[in-house]
């Protein structure tokens, strides 16, 4: 079933919410459920403009992308998409170029994607430090499942042994970061067969469900990832502004 278009999917949702210029380390989160990539990117861009305009708060979007999508980062190479346009169209997979760092990756149902939109600081929260914090949040989450996640020299993301379980790609404009991380939750990682994941030919991908030997749901992982992200990024206050299917109301 095709995912709703932007006007239908986000109709009536008061995002971005009213600007807040008072200081305070508050993270506002929005659970979009399943949503297409392009309207979610448009929502990120609206929040990006809000933070660039002086809103002191940070935002976090949680989403499973549906329909599936292959995104091309700034360093993507054409040969890293091994499926033909006809094959992608037949499978209902979109292909979208974007401004995040990194190469090519896949998003789809069973993968939890987190998009923080927040201000960096050249003294306290550098781009490099921010990426390491995103990795740490995933490592902390995996530890709750008894899984030892790690970094791999020369590559961003989180690995379990020689298999990648989470990809990270961010973009920064005027010291505000957007895009984020993607964590493989379900056992079905066949969507990655259409690409060379992150342009790394000698690596494979894995998922929480595969490593645990049971069906781990995205809903099970969401609150844990939220806790780990807020801790790794240093947010003392987290407010759930809108959940998928919930009545829309602006934050106060």
Q: What is the pLDDT of residues 17-66, one digit of tens each?
A: 444 433 457 899 999 999 999 999 999 999 999 999 999 899 999 999 99
Q: Assess contact for 59 and 30: CB atoms under 8 A.
A: yes
pLDDT at 128 over 60: yes
Residue 173 lies in a domain: yes
Give the C-alpha distances (Å, rounded to integers) separating 125 from 23, 113, 118, 233, 237: 16, 22, 10, 9, 18
CA distance 110 to 65: 9
Q: How many domains does the chain have?
A: 1
Residue 251 lies in a domain: no
Residue 162 lies in a domain: yes
Residues comprising the chain, all counted: 252
3-state secondary structure 51-100: HHCCCCCEEEEEEEECCCEEEECCCCCHHHECCCHHHHHHHCCEEEECCC
Residue 195 lies in a domain: yes
The DSSP code for 4 is P
Residue 13 lies in a domain: no
Q: Which domain holds residue 157?
A: 23-243
The DSSP code for 245 is T
Of 177, 134, 148, nearest in space to 45 by CA? 177
> Mean pLDDT across the stretch 125-134?
92
pTM, to two decimals:
0.86
Which CATH number is 134's domain given? 3.30.930.10
CA distance 136 to 148: 12
Which residues, listed in sequence order, are joined to residue 58 by a DSSP beta bridge? 27
Supply angle C-alpha 105, 175, 77, rounded to 5: 25
Would you call 168 helix, strand, or coil by DSSP? strand
Residue 4 lies in a domain: no
pLDDT at 9 over 80: no
Annotated catalytic residues are 198
Supply angle C-alpha 120, 121, 125, rounded to 5: 75
> Mean pLDDT across the stretch 169-198?
89
Residue 1 lies in a domain: no
pLDDT attached to residue 181: 97
Ramachandran region, residue 213 (left: φ > 0; alpha: ψ -120 to 50; beta: rest): left
Supply angle C-alpha 225, 133, 154, rounded to 5: 115
Express each pLDDT in 196-249 by its tens digit.
766 666 778 999 999 999 999 999 999 999 999 999 999 988 988 865 544 333
Residue 100 lies in a domain: yes
């Amino acid at each position: 079933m095709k995912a709703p278009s932007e006007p239908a999917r986000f109709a009536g949702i008061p995002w971005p919410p009213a600007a807040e210029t008072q200081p305070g380390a508050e993270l506002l989160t929005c659970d979009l459920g399943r949503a297409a990539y392009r309207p979610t990117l448009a929502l990120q861009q609206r929040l990006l403009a809000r933070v660039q305009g002086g809103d002191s708060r940070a935002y976090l979007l949680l989403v499973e992308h549906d329909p599936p999508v292959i995104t091309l980062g700034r360093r993507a190479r054409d040969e890293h998409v091994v499926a033909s346009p006809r094959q992608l169209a037949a499978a209902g997979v979109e292909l979208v170029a974007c401004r995040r760092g990194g190469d090519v990756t896949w998003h789809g149902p069973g993968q939890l994607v987190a998009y923080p939109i927040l201000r960096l600081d050249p003294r306290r929260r550098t781009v490099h430090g921010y990426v390491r914090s995103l990795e740490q949040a995933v490592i902390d989450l995996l530890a709750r499942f008894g899984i030892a996640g790690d970094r791999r020299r020369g590559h961003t993301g989180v690995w379990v042994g020689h298999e990648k379980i989470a990809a990270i790609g961010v973009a920064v404009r005027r010291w505000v970061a957007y895009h984020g991380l993607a964590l493989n939750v379900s056992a079905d990682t066949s969507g990655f067969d259409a690409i060379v994941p992150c342009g790394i030919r000698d690596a494979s991908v894995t998922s929480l469900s595969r490593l645990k030997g049971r069906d781990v749901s995205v809903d099970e992982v969401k609150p844990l990832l939220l806790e780990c992200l807020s801790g790794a990024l240093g947010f003392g206050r987290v407010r759930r502004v809108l959940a998928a299917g919930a009545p829309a109301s602006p934050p106060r």
